[in-house]
Structure 1
Amino acid sequence: MRFRHAAVAVLATMTLGLAGCGGSDDKSTSDSVTGTVTLQTWALTPKFTDYLNQLISGFQAKYPGTKVQLLDQPGDGYADKVLSQAASNTLPDVINLPPDFALPLARQGLLKDISKGAGVDLKATYVAGGLDAYRYSGLGDAVYSYPWYLNTDLDYWNTKQFKACGLDPAKPPATTDELFVQAATMHAKCPDNFLMSRKPDATDFTRAGIPILSDDGKKFVFNTDQAAALVDRYKDAYQKGFLPSSVLNSDYQGNSKLFTQGKVAWSTGGATGLADFQKDNPSLKGNIAVTNALDTPPLYVQGVSVSAKSKHLATATALAEWVTNADNQNKFGHLVNIFPSTTASASDPYFAKDDGSELAHARVLAFNELKTAKSLAPYELNSDMQTVLDQQIALALKGSTTSRKALDDAVAKLNQMLSRQK
């Protein structure tokens, strides 16, 4: 189960050439749901082979005369595989793509805009954030994938440290503003304890309502006074000792690892994070509070896209909608720790009903977050760009440069990198 955010530079920068075609050998194009199509998934076999086979059998039974050929690609090298398929005109009819993988294909016209000609009411069927993840700056209102399975983050708080350091474990921060306030309280009472344990990144700009990318998708625009003020706030907190000094180091372990070690009092994590923390550090059992994510919850998305050049476009579209309908998504969500992207899944007690157990409580919290969760940084911001931004913010927090200059320098470099992707 893979959730990607960092765009793959090789996909984004290389011109893909001729539009890809579907995987069927049939040379005719049909508007009816018939014929052979390929469905490509990413690292789901052998663990979920039975589920996928049942999914395919159900589709073929519903649409006599159809045949689905399953292609499951290994986890490693999937981006290169998709690139190779696109460049050689062998893109599968229906293909599992996270938003960053779909972006360069959409730019090349290789994916169907499902906002036109979908067999379902997209807005009524899928959560808004899942659809928005496949809308890209500069490409209008087009949507390039049916949302499939989703995930988000919750917040985890060490209640033992809260009690020892003058904080109320029943009232942990619900917003970033409250986080700063309570971090100061913890530091005053317990100078060696930390509530904050990460420096800001692009997602913090989005939470603060700061635009990251221009509307046309051609340049980064987050070097503003508002963004600089946000970085200054973290700079002040860092220099006052509210954050561990390691957050600026290359060997920074991340807030999850530090939380597990009992070195910080806050971490983010998925709905199963509680069980993972307690497994890795049994002393945390009974000492963790779980709440919704601060401000706007993040959304991690996998989708099912349709090749714009499929020889059986109607069949491919019907298959993508079958894979992502509520019933099939609910069944999948019962098998693995992910969430369905369909609004109708709210009627499934497994996702929507808190039975009083810790795991169910976290699962329901996370599922309900999906209503407002969103992708917090544009997928044009790839991993190399994030590294540049991270380095500039670190310089600002250390006091080696001003926050505004750090953002100016980051935007200048990122826009050079972005121009090479177009």
Structure 2
Amino acid sequence: MRRIWAALTTTAITAAALTGCGLGSSESKNSDSVASAAATGEVKGKVSIQTWALKPKFTDYMQGILDGFKKKYPGVEVEWLDQPGEGYSDKVLSQAASGGLPDVVNLPPDFAFPLAKKDVLLDVLKADPKLADEYVAGGVEAYRYTGLNGTFGYPWYLNTDVNYWNSELLTKNGLDPKKLPASLDDLIAQSRAMKEKSGGQTYLMSRKPGLGDLYNAGVKLMSDDGKSFTFNTPEAAALLDKYRDAFKEGLLPKDVLTNTYVGNSKLFNAGTAAWTTGGGNFITSLATDNPTIAPKMVSSPTMGVPPLYVQGLAIPKNTKNPAAAVALARWVTSPENQAAFSHLTSVFPSTKASANDPFFSKSDGTNAGDAKVVAFDSLAKAKLIQPVQVDDAMSTIINQQIALAISGDASSKQALDSAVEQCNKLLKG
């Protein structure tokens, strides 16, 4: 599933590209009429669903779900399409431009956004008013976009980040694994203690900040209408100043701002860094790569609001079978079917009812089990922090300007002003 989660950060389909392909809101049906048909229509006839890179590993699982759906609704015929991981956004763009999207489409929020913006997707909350009450709040919010009215997808499977610490390195360098940092100031203070004890050979801090760190510092990343970035604030500059001072003090690796930086998870794996972040199954995966470190790991919730990684199911407004489409999306994302999927892989369900499942809410007593519970508990307050408008080009600009600020080659305010100016030009372009 790593391929799918990595894909969440790829460039979304642009609204400009959709317009260039001749797809406009005038071609879409009235949302109220489609929602009414979905709510009152009989579940029968042909309906199609498109997933993203689930074959062949999860073929049996998906086929079982669809067989169950057909058993529940004997008058339904389901066509399952699965697209490969590479080029999925281009495939969706092509389908949308030709009006050929399947009735139910697997879309992460950043892929769904430009389609919602062009009035291609159904406001599923109108068709299924119980949605907001039965799914995790952050998952529902992920399909609500600034400047648009509506909820444009069912959250499906989720993940979030957890803090991981090397307890042996902490203890060796005079730190207490039972008193883990809970704020940036704590992290800096303990990083300083680790540097002094280890002689600069081991790091606690091993990455530069990003938009998520600014968000958790109380910085508003975008305007309410979603038309401009706003993260060049005094609070944002103050946070970058803290990182700049920590970098100057040698509390972060020297190459953390360069292209040679390998990433803090690799530094953690190598035993050079004592802190990293990862999904709820990170200990299990690391046990394969470095079985000596895995038993020494302890977990804690992320500092601030946990980031939410979301996959979901959207429904195009031009579906010819809205009642069956909504019923199918609801069926695939039901607590039982999501739980079965989560037992097979390293993701978490998006339904509130899943909180009662001991598989997620109770640890088996291992450090991996503890981390899974930390991750699952975090989902109740996790949010899609990075705006869906941020594409690869914008991410590159933001990372470059943050690096300039931390290195001292530009003031924090200058760097943030430049990043916002450049990103706003791309946003309007």
Corresponding residue for residue 303 of structure 2: 294
Q: What is the alpha-carbon distance in structure 2 between the residues aligned to residue 175 and residue 65 of structure 1?
A: 56
Q: Residues 57-96 of structure 1: matches in 2 within 5 Å?
A: 57-96=67-106
Structure (1 or 2) with the greater helix fraction: 2
Select the residue among 6, 11, 19 that pairs with 1:8: 11
Q: Residues 306-385 of structure 1: matches in 2 within 5 Å?
A: 306-385=315-394
Amino acid at match of 1:87: A
* Aligned residues with identical type, % of pairs: 49
Q: Residues 159-174 of structure 1: matches in 2 within 5 Å?
A: 159-174=167-182
Spell out, residue by residue over 1:203-222, the C-alpha distance to the aligned partner (whole angstroms, 9 max, x if none). 11111121111000000011
Deviation for aligned residue 1:283: 2.6
Deviation for aligned residue 1:381: 0.9
Q: Is the 8 A contact 1:207 1:376 kept in 2?
A: no
Per the alignment, in what secondary structure is the counterpart of residue 13 of structure 1? helix
Q: What is the alpha-carbon distance in structure 2 between the residues aligned to residue 8 and residue 282 of structure 1?
A: 35
Q: What is the alpha-carbon distance in structure 2 between the residues aligned to residue 346 and residue 41 of structure 1?
A: 25
Amino acid at match of 2:269: T
The answer to whether 1:51 aligns with 2:78 is no
Unaligned 5+ runs, structure 2? 30-36
Spell out, residue by residue over 1:36-79, the C-alpha distance to the aligned partner (whole angstroms, 9 max, x if none). 01100000011111111111111112122111100000111101
Q: Using a 3 Å threshold, how does the CA distance of structure 1 residues 215 and 206 change in structure 2: closer, same or farther?
A: same
Deviation for aligned residue 1:343: 0.5
Q: Is the 8 A contact 1:7 1:380 kept in 2?
A: no
Q: Residues 229-244 of structure 1: matches in 2 within 5 Å?
A: 229-244=238-253
Select the residue among 393, 396, 402 that pairs with 2:405: 396
Q: Using a 3 Å threshold, how does the CA distance of structure 1 residues 387 and 88 change in structure 2: closer, same or farther?
A: same
Deviation for aligned residue 1:331: 1.0
Deviation for aligned residue 1:285: 4.0
Corresponding residue for residue 423 of structure 2: 414
Spell out, residue by residue over 1:63-108, the C-alpha distance to the aligned partner (whole angstroms, 9 max, x if none). 2211110000011110110011011110111000001100111001
The answer to whether 1:18 aligns with 2:23 is yes
- TM-score for the superposition, normalised by structure 2: 0.92
Deviation for aligned residue 1:11: 3.2
Q: What is the alpha-carbon distance in structure 1 between the residues aligned to residue 138 and residue 370 of structure 2?
A: 22
Runs of 4+ in structure 1 deviating by more than 4 angstroms, as ranges, are 19-22
Corresponding residue for residue 25 of structure 1: none
The answer to whether 1:107 aligns with 2:107 is no
Per the alignment, in what secondary structure is the counterpart of residue 291 of structure 1? strand
Q: What is the alpha-carbon distance in structure 1 between the residues aligned to residue 110 and residue 99 of structure 2?
A: 20
Q: What is the alpha-carbon distance in structure 2 between the residues aligned to residue 57 and residue 107 of structure 1?
A: 34
Corresponding residue for residue 152 of structure 1: 160
Corresponding residue for residue 192 of structure 1: 201
Per the alignment, in what secondary structure is the counterpart of residue 268 of structure 1? strand
Corresponding residue for residue 175 of structure 1: 183
Q: Is the 8 A contact 1:7 1:101 kept in 2?
A: no
Corresponding residue for residue 266 of structure 1: 275
Q: Is the 8 A contact 2:123 2:151 kept in 1?
A: yes
Spell out, residue by residue over 1:375-422, the C-alpha distance to the aligned partner (whole angstroms, 9 max, x if none). 1111101121011010011111111110000000111100000002xx
Deviation for aligned residue 1:188: 2.4
Q: How many residues align?
A: 412
Deviation for aligned residue 1:7: 5.3
- TM-score for the superposition, normalised by structure 1: 0.94
Q: Is the 8 A contact 1:220 1:415 kept in 2?
A: yes
Q: Is the 8 A contact 1:6 1:381 kept in 2?
A: no
Which deviates more, 167-176 or 1-10? Answer: 1-10
The alignment's C-alpha RMSD in Å is 1.7
Per the alignment, in what secondary structure is the counterpart of residue 125 of structure 2? coil
The answer to whether 1:135 aligns with 2:133 is no
Which deviates more, 266-275 or 173-182? Answer: 173-182
Amino acid at match of 1:393: I
Q: What is the alpha-carbon distance in structure 1 between the residues aligned to residue 294 and residue 226 of structure 2?
A: 46
